[in-house]
Homo-oligomer: A and B are copies of this chain.
């Protein structure tokens, strides 16, 4: 039986809808009264694991799930050893650099060398600033990154931006986009190569359904 790792949070609804469109119904994960993290789909054909978005690639890498749905941002940040099979189209947002609206910085080239940049995406931030050859000090945070510039701890932040509401509420403005991100389909490389439990067929129908929904 195929196991699919699903991410808690903003990509969960889209992931469940896509799986439903190919006959796998994990809607129970959307019911707040259901506390189980491992369930069978309603047709008893596949198993679902509900995990933190950062943990999806871990379960797929170790083969505890053959398939997983996860944001491209997590793939960029964690670089897991999983097969990256399809762009699922939903969950679009962008990884951006933002600064205080009252600051003098209107482009990354205005940022002073060795300034501080707060981020949950330490590797993404590091790679970007290395690519433009600007030495910065990355301050790793776990949440509410917008407090970095507000408290004066950092000149800038690198964070995911969807609607831009959080930035606006905190008087921050975007000055650069690092990359766009959407939900992706990943698989355990060996399971995919040997087509364990018909994994390839499931990947094909998921890919076709994602394309049809995007069209």
- Which residues of A are interface residues toward B (Cβ below 8 A)? 3, 8, 35, 37-38, 49-52, 54-55, 58-59, 62, 64, 139-144, 147, 150-153, 169
> 29 A-B Cβ contacts within 8 A?
A3-B151, A8-B143, A35-B169, A37-B144, A37-B147, A37-B150, A38-B151, A49-B147, A49-B151, A50-B144, A51-B143, A51-B144, A51-B147, A52-B142, A52-B144, A54-B142, A55-B141, A55-B142, A55-B144, A58-B139, A58-B141, A59-B147, A59-B151, A59-B153, A62-B139, A62-B153, A64-B151, A64-B152, A64-B153
By beta carbon, the residue of chain B nearest A140 is B58
Dominant SS at the A interface? Answer: mixed
Q: How far is the CB of A6 from chain B (nearest CB, A)?
A: 12
For this chain, the copies found in one complex come to: 2
From B55, B150, B152, B169, give the contact of A143 (CB < 8 A).
B55
Cβ–Cβ < 8 Å partners of A147 in chain B: 37-38, 49, 51, 59
By beta carbon, the residue of chain B nearest A35 is B169
Q: How far is the CB of A184 from chain B (nearest CB, A)?
A: 18
By beta carbon, the residue of chain B nearest A170 is B37
Across the A-B interface, the 3 shortest Cβ-Cβ residue pairs:
A52-B143, A52-B142, A64-B151
